[in-house]
Chain A
Amino acid sequence: MVVLLLCLPLLRSLTRTMLLRIFDSGLLVCQSVPWCGDRIYNPLEQCCEDDTILPLNRTRLCGPNCIYWPCFELCCPESFSPQKKFVVRLKVLGVKSQCHSAPISRDCGR
């Protein structure tokens, strides 16, 4: 914890990458962690969506009838017609996902 506090002010001014020290049999190993807005998060348990840290198992409604996983999917309204419908699309890991190019996961209907 003390080591963590020592790392923070020194390195934060230089880059946005924070180094954590992991103790393993006396060997200090630094590892970068991801940022979400101005906070760090654990990518094994959380994701960063719209500068908000979410647990990986968080679900939300996409339209009135559909549940989706914001960490892995996009909620995309499909049209402006009276038959407005929502489509859930897969996020492509490692790239900035967009509604018009992401593969469809499910059609939520209206």
Chain B
Amino acid sequence: MGTGCFLHTALLLMAQALPQLEASQYCGHLEYWNPDNKCCSSCLQRFGPPPCPDHEFVENCGLNDFGDLLTHPFRKCPPGQCNPDGAEQCSPCSSGVAASTPMGNGGRTLQRCKEVPKPIPPKGFCPLPSEETRAPISPVSSSLSWTTKSTSTQPSFVLISVLILVLVLLLISAVILLLPLQRHCCRHKGKTISLPSSGLVCGDPNTYTLPSLHSPSPGALEALETRTTEKVYLPPLLGKDLPGLESQPLSRLLDELEVLEELIVLLDPEPGPVGCMAYGTTRHLAARYGLPATWSTFAYSLRPSRSPLRALIEMVVAREPSASLGQLGAHLAHLGRADALRVLSKLG
């Protein structure tokens, strides 16, 4: 009696210590309330099946009625229950029958969202070490691979390896072929350097950006070019050090923290060096890389805890792994930021 009482109290205290996630007032156990569409959406449709064996969805997959993700969507099966097949819920181990999906829970009103038919996201990587799982299903990863949208099925490991090898070979050959062409173009065009533009952006209308967004508005472009023609000059550094920078990946800048810090101090502050006009800052650099103004507004809202320049570099590196320091140097030159160019040349 005493032990049972102690355990019960301990469980209550633990429950209070954990983040409080109350059950949805509107949706069943395996659904979550979408506060914007005012309807219930399926946890399975959003997160896919549990990535690890013997795990199941938590109540409303960890989302509250405001759309906040307060807890992990998945939890381990209670003692005595198993889920080897990746069903939404665990079932008694001995029965071997998956638990039926409850259509309602506690009499809550279910107002299902009218969802566009699409395949369920594939099972993600299980981050648990193999000894914690009964049957490891995939290599251990440090994070779950939830996709915002997914339409493909999971290929075999061999096929993935072959695809990665082919992609690496293609990338290497593309770099080898394009590098001399870029240098040839740079020598002939002189001050004008053509850079990758918004052509990299997917033009699918179902994605949340459009190619047209990634080019600055005509008015802004004209203003920028006007300022550029008024002040443009290529500092001596450009001709001397760019060849050295061109061959170096942009990702190197994320490792050279001292140089990055200096660039952050020079480029992040607004207004820019001209004074009352914001000119030649990270915001303009983002525009040159084809990012919309709304992204820059978001990036600057993260200050002071996070640098917009660092976020920009990470974004460009993730989107275009072949981006080079030479391209960054060219952008800085076009913005007239000789001071930042001098800092960047330390990596040359």
Main SS at interface, chain B = loop
Contact partners of B252 in chain A: CB under 8 A: none
The CA of A17 and the CA of B294, in the complex, are separated in Å by 23
Contact partners of A63 in chain B: CB under 8 A: 19, 69-70
Q: Mark A35-79, 1 if CB is under 8 A from B, else 0.
A: 111100001100111111110100011111000011110111111
A96 with B149, Cβ < 8 A, contacts A56-B298, A80-B127, A106-B305 known: yes
* Chain B interfacial residues counted at CB < 8 A: 63
Main SS at interface, chain A = loop
Determine if A87 and B311 form an interchain contact, defined as CB atoms under 8 angstroms apart: no
Contact partners of A80 in chain B: CB under 8 A: 52, 55, 72, 74, 76, 127-128
Determine if A60 and B67 form an interchain contact, defined as CB atoms under 8 angstroms apart: yes
Determine if B208 and A87 form an interchain contact, defined as CB atoms under 8 angstroms apart: no
The 8 Å CB contact of B206, one of A34, A79, A93, is: A34
Q: Beyond the given A80-B55, A90-B315, could you list 19 further A-B residue pairs with CB under 8 A, ordered by the A residue number?
A: A17-B205, A37-B115, A43-B213, A48-B206, A50-B46, A52-B34, A53-B36, A62-B68, A72-B295, A77-B73, A78-B142, A79-B143, A80-B52, A93-B209, A94-B200, A94-B209, A97-B147, A99-B144, A106-B306
Contact partners of A54 in chain B: CB under 8 A: 36
* Chain A interfacial residues counted at CB < 8 A: 56
The CA of A48 and the CA of B319, in the complex, are separated in Å by 20
Q: Which of B55-89 contact A (CB under 8 A)?
A: 55, 62, 66-74, 76
Q: Which of B105-133 contact A (CB under 8 A)?
A: 113-116, 124-125, 127-128
